[in-house]
Every structure is written in structure tokens, then in C-alpha cells.
Structure 1
Amino acid sequence: MTRETRTVPEQDPGAVRAPFGIHGYEETVAHDTSWNAHAHPWDELLWNERGASIAVVGARAWTITPTLGLWMPAETMHSGSAVAGTWFRATFFGRATTPSLSDVPVAVEITPLLRLLLERLGDAGLDPGSRAATEAMVLDVLTPSPRELLVQVPTSPLLRPIADAVRENPGDQRTLSRWAAELGVSTRTVTRAFNAETGTSFARWVAGVRAQHAVELLTRGWEVEAVAEEVGYRSASAFGAAFRRTTGLTPGSFRPR
């Protein structure tokens, strides 16, 4: 499958004071696409009209979907990727005129109201008064979400073999005790390392990796049963239950319509 790699020019965050309030950009990528690590001098809301994409900051990787966006603060180095056919949208917030939602990346629920307001700002014929009122409403309804499709990737020499194997093959069936035996350490040692590096348990971390991979496959049009098998579940029902616990949504909500 063709993959396109894009380079975003380096920008000096202190050199630009964006005079605009809220400005949007959208594109449908024809190929699997990756963006290099870069930062903007303005805040950015990443969201999708269709498909799935990934934004990476350090060792943290967020999945972005039509219902779950990501607030990327100005000056934050991040890279990204999107699967072919993804209709992605980026909304830029000029810090000279709009307050920042957060100084760290946070998930944002893309509610129907927020979507409508952001789409209205894309109307080139919107008069200044209506634009100002709409921007004020966007800032009023823009709030962090308690849900997020986030995976903290462990990087220590102990856990890196596990992280690499599971991310390469989310259907990997090795248990925590089997991994500990293969690495020559105790189960308790691996458990403590996972909690320290990822803030969660091994089982929940694996569920998060599987959910991220499942979202990508679902947005490509895979059937739920095929996705369940690919990411390591014995049945579609078991996959669906685990997926809902992790994302708060059903697998079917991510399939193209």
C-alpha cells in the first residue's frame, strides 16, 4: 500500500502572533499519510469528518476519530499519521485573540453542536459580527473529554520488547506471566514497570493498543468479526465488550456508512 510522508516546515513559535481568531483546514488523504514531528505557533484542534488518524507527542499516541478530537497546544512538538480515505480537519486558534483550552494535549468530544459551529466558521461569506459570535460559542462549548483513545508507549529496555511485539501484532496472546518468563523476571516486576511507565495495568494497556488498531481497521471497512480475530479476541461479542469498555462506543460506529 502506498504511503505518503509529508514534512511540515519548522516554525519559530515566538516569531508569529497569529492575528486570526479561529481558522479551519480540511483534506481527504488519498494514501496512508505520515507527518514529521513539528510544532505550531497557534493552538490546534485535530478532528476527523471521516476515518481515523494518530497524533503522537513523545511516548503518547492518541487516536482521533469523528467523535473524539485532540487539542494540541501551541509550541507542542507532535507527529501524526492518517489512513487512506481519512477526511481530517484541523482548526487553528490564534492565541493573540482566543484563550487556550489547555497547555497540554487533551481529548475533546466533537459534539454535534461543536461540529456545526466549526462548519459555520468555514463560510467565507460570514459577516464579522456573526463570525465573532460563532467563535465565542465555539470557545464556550469546547471542553476536555473524560474519554480518550490514548496509549502511553513504554520505552524502558525491560518493557520495550513487549511494546514492540504487541503494537506490531495486537493479536499477540502472550500473557503477563509468559512475558515475565521470557524476559527472565518476575510477574511482579513487569506489573510494577507497566504501572510506573504507562499509568495502567498490562491488560488495560493491551486493550488500548488493540482498540487503536481496531479503529484503524474498522474505518478501512473491515467487518467486525474479522477485526475481532485480527486483534486477538475469540468472538465478536468479546471484542465488542472490550472495545466499549475502552472507547465508550460500539465497533460499528467506526465503520464507513
Structure 2
Amino acid sequence: MFPLKPVDVPDVDRRSLPVFEAGSIDVPYVIDGMDEAISRNTFWEEHSHPTHELIWNTRGASSLTVGSRTWTITPTLGLWIPAGVRHTAWTPAGTWYRTAMFSVQSTAPIADGPVAVDVTDLLRLLLDRLAEPSLEGSSRATTEAMVLDVLTPSPHELLLRIPDSELLAPIVEAVRADVRDAGTLEAWSARLGVSSRTITRQFRAETGLGFSRWVAAFRIQRAIVLLADGDSIDEVAMTVGFRSASSFGTAFRRVTGTSPGQFRVR
């Protein structure tokens, strides 16, 4: 299961971290990092860092939420979170995540808000080098400068906006409960007692997508986790509610910019 909030999920490790304002703590580094292999489904309560943060995965897919926006994080697509931005995170069991923390005093933010970052081979190699304990002095400074030079926002992002209006709440909860059976727009219109046009208008206002496109994007978020776990493309398509692998591939490419097969290879 890949919820966008930790409801009805067994064996969840809930973790609490402090809320810091940007730059509220002076850190003795320009870039520092850590990693952790997650053995249990883990939910990180709302928190913020005094430093900028880049988070990506060595293995698996996870998610990070700021307000109504949820980004999917993978081994090839990370997320930049500016210092002081409050966020929660969901890390499924089996994920191996990595973070790099950037000093506010030494690093200009690459964007005003959270933004996806392509974790290229070059960026990964540079960050790996910074993790070497023996790297010091001018060699470390040069590597840090190279990281900052190649660290740029990605033209793609795996972002899903979650509507929070009372009208759309039953739809959101139904999709969370069973992503395979979201119901039709016409069925929801009858159930909620409003026109299909009203539902569509509200979805577009809150998410930028119509009902069908939003449901497809939600399904693709779930599919990414299953693909990262090693499930076959046909199995994933069926699990998340697509009638065929071809329709799944079309929706996957529309959301991610690549095919399910290419995503798995990457």
C-alpha cells in the first residue's frame, strides 16, 4: 500500500523531528549527508530543517508532502526542499534513502520552494565522493562547488496535488482506499448530487487536472512504487486499475515522461 497519509497501514514507524526556521542553526559544513535503509513502513511527522535538503533514494520509491502537494522520490528523481519548509514523508519498508544537507550560509537555494532534481550519474558520483571521510580541504571544496554547479531543477517532476475541499473529500478517500476502483465521473456526480461539470471544475481548480487525469496520476504514483519493488509491468497495470498494459504505458508516459520499461531500467 502506498497511502498519501498513514491511515490503516500496519506496522508503521512514526518518527518525530523538530521544526526549525531557515538558518536558525549554524552548521559546520557546506554539504553533509546521511543514508538509511528502512526496514518498516515509516511516516515522518511534520518537521523542517535549518538547512536546505536534497533527498533521493538508492533503492525504492518514497513520497514527501508539503501542504496539498505530494512528490514521489526515486533513485533518479530527487527533491530539493528549502530550509524552513515544513513537510511530512512516507518511506515504505525496503526503501534505502539518502539526504544531503546544504548550509544556508554557504548555499543559495536553487528554487524558492520544493522542486524535483534529476539525480544524474554525475551528481550521484559527486555526492558519493562527499561521503568519503578522507575527503578534505581543497578537494572537498572543489567537489562541493561541482555539486552546486550541476544541481538544477528538473523539467519533470512526479507531483500529485491532493484536493482538500469538502466536495471532493469522498472521492479522495475512495481512491486512497482502492486505487483500482475509483468509480466514474457520472457515478460520483449522482452520489454527490452535483453535476459532472461541477466536479471537473473543482478538480481543475484544486489540482490542475480533470477527474480522470487526476485518478490516472494517483495510480501512476502507486505504480512507481510497485515497479521499484520489482513487480512486472503487466502485474502493476492490473494492480493499479488499468485495463491493459498499453493504456497503463500511455498514462505512465504522460505523467512521468518515460515508459514503464525505461523507468525500470533507469
Q: Same fold (TM over 0.5)?
A: yes
4+ aligned runs moved over 4 Å, structure 1: 253-257
Contact 1:243 1:250 in 2 (8 A): yes
Q: Is the 8 A contact 2:23 2:83 kept in 1?
A: no
Give how far 1:9 is off: 2.9
What is the CA-CA distance between 1:39 and the residue it aligns to? 0.4
Q: Residues 46-103 of structure 1: CA distance to partner in whole angstroms, max 9, x if unpaired?
A: 1011101110111111100011111101000001011111110011000111111112
Task: Between 235-244 and 109-118, report the one with greater CA deviation.
Answer: 235-244
Question: Is the 1:219–1:256 Cα contact (8 Å) retained in structure 2?
Answer: no
- Partner letter of residue 78 of structure 2? G
The alignment covers a number of residue pairs equal to 257
Q: What is the CA deviation profile of residues 112-138 of structure 1, one whole-angstrom value per residue up to 9, with x for unaligned ones?
A: 111111111111111310111111111
Shift of 1:250: 2.8
Provide the rounded CA distance (Å) in 1 between the counterparts of 2:252 and 2:259: 7
Contact 2:52 2:103 in 1 (8 A): yes
Say whether the 8 Å CA contact 1:20–1:94 is kept in structure 2: yes
Q: Following TM superposition, by how much is the alpha carbon of 1:191 offset from its aligned partner in structure 2, in angstroms?
A: 1.1
Matching residue of 1:227: 236
Match of 2:64 among 55, 60, 64: 55
Q: How do 1:184-195 and structure 2 match up within 5 A?
A: 184-195=193-204
Alignment of 1:1-257 (within 5 A): 2-13=11-22, 15-253=24-262
For 1:5-43, what per-residue CA distance to the aligned partner results, in whole angstroms no more than 9, with x for missing partners? Answer: 111133354531223101111111111111110000110
- TM-score, normalised to structure 1's length? 0.94
Q: TM-score, normalised by structure 2?
A: 0.91
Q: CA deviation at 1:255?
A: 5.1
Amino acid at match of 1:177: E
Worse-matched range after superposition: 8-17 or 197-206: 8-17
Residues 220 and 256 of structure 1 are in contact (CA less than 8 Å); yes or no, is this contact kept in structure 2? no
SS class of match (1:15): coil
Where do 5+ consecutive residues of structure 1 fail to align? none
Pick closer, same or farther for the CA change 1:254–1:87 going to 2, 3 Å: farther
Instruction: State the identity %.
Output: 53
Separation (CA, whole Å) in 2 of partners of 1:256 and 1:188 = 40
In the TM superposition, residue 202 of structure 1 has moved relative to its aligned partner by: 1.6
Deviating more after overlay: 34-43 vs 194-203: 194-203
Letter in 1 for 2:207: T
Q: Amino acid of the residue matched to residue 71 of structure 2?
A: W
